[in-house]
Every structure is written in C-alpha cells, then in structure tokens.
A = this chain, B = another copy of it.
Amino acid sequence: MNPSTPGTLLVIDDERQIRRLLRVTLEGAGYRVREAETGQLGLQEIAAAAPDGVILDLGLPDLDGVDVLRRLREWSRLPVLVLSVREAEEVKIAALDAGADDYLTKPFGGGELLARVRALLRRASTDAEPAILRFGDIELDRASRVVRRSGEEVHLTAKEYALFALLAQHRGKVVTQRQLLRDIWGANAEDNSHYLRVHMTHLRQKLERHPSAPELLKTEPSIGYRLIG
C-alpha cells in the first residue's frame, strides 16, 4: 500500500525472459528487484543482500528449486513465492512441504503476481493473533489451553480441543475435512472423515445450546466444517 516501503525482492530464475517480465511488473509496482540466475547464486544473494522476499522458479538447472528452498529453510524464514508450470503438481507440493509460502502457476498475469507478492509480504509482517477468542458465550483461551462456556470451564479432550482451536483460528471460514484431518490426525488419515464426525458430535454436546441444531459449529456437507463467529 505504502509506495515508499514496498521492499526488495529477489528473483531466482534461469530464463532471462521470465526475469525480465518479473522485473518489469514488480518495479512498475514500486518494488526493488534483484536477480539471480541459479539456485547457488540465489542463496549467496540472499545472504549478501537480505531481500524482503524471494520469487523462486522451481525449474532451475543447477540445484532443484526444492533443494534451494530446503537449504534456505535451514537458516531463514524469509517469505518465498514459488513459480511452476501447471503440470508440475508433484514439485509444487514438495515445495510447499519444504516451506514455500505460496505458489504461482505459469503462465500468470501481472495482477495476480502482484496480489500474491503483496499477500506474501503482508503475511510476513503481521502474524500475531490474540490469545483469547470469544464466540457468543464460549471463550477459547489458547494461552492456557482452556475453553469456557458462560465463564464455566468446559473440559475438552485433546482431539476435541485441537478441532475446536483449528476451527476457531479460521472463524467464519469453512475448513475442509482434509485440512482438519491432516492437521490433527496426520496426512495418512485424510480419508477417515468419520473421526471428524464423531468428535464434532462430542464438541457440540459440550458447547452448543441445542447440539442437534448447532449455531456455532456448522456443517458444510461434503466440504467441511465452520465455526460461526
């Protein structure tokens, strides 16, 4: 938003055309841009110039883009936006797992690029959330891991708490079954949506006024659940 401090970005890409496209687009929006042609040089540049964010093409000749990312993550949380071609799903996922903050599929429009970059840098600067969240007469105290209902403490089991906390973190948004399962039970339980259903029932019985007509913990059939806040 503030054009005086949009920040410096490092583009790591071996194709000159793409580098030029990125430079033009980003400088047009007020960012300063540095370039590196290989992963090796990119890592050096990061250490030397300390940019505010990195745009990393996954199709690099020397190091695999994912490797660059892994190495970087050994010592830095610098925001990284990853670039890939549509087909490379595998690579994209590997990159996200290795700590990429976002990805963009080639070909992309200038507007989309800028939006992603903005989001990338914004996220990096503000990720603090208050410790106590309130939803009607329910409150979640994340600092002490306690849930209260009209002031009274409600005992939740580990899974119940994890579920509630995750939904609370995304208050108002639908959280997919897959996401819930992956975060709480791990990646290999992604199909056991039954777990979710059972624990959701328990949660409702502890937190809802009328458990069978929930006002707080809503179902989105075949998608996921959502906490109304």
Chain A residues in the interface with B (C-beta under 8 A): 73-77, 106-109, 111-112, 114-115, 124-130, 143-146, 157-158, 172-174, 220-223, 226
A115, B143: Cβ atoms closer than 8 Å:
no
Known: A107-B75, A157-B221. A127 touches B112 (CB 8 A): yes
B158, A107: Cβ atoms closer than 8 Å:
no
CA gap between A36 and B211 in the complex, in Å: 55
CA gap between A125 and B172 in the complex, in Å: 30
Closest to A153 in B: B228
B128, A145: Cβ atoms closer than 8 Å:
no
B143, A107: Cβ atoms closer than 8 Å:
no
12 A-B Cβ contacts within 8 A? A75-B106, A77-B108, A111-B125, A111-B126, A111-B127, A111-B128, A112-B129, A115-B130, A145-B220, A145-B223, A145-B226, A146-B174
CA gap between A114 and B173 in the complex, in Å: 22
Known: A107-B74, A143-B173. A158 touches B221 (CB 8 A): yes
Closest to A172 in B: B144
B145, A173: Cβ atoms closer than 8 Å:
yes
B107, A73: Cβ atoms closer than 8 Å:
yes
The residues of B that contact A75 with a CB separation of less than 8 Å are 106-107
Nearest Cβ on chain B to A26's Cβ, whole angstroms: 13
Nearest Cβ on chain B to A184's Cβ, whole angstroms: 13
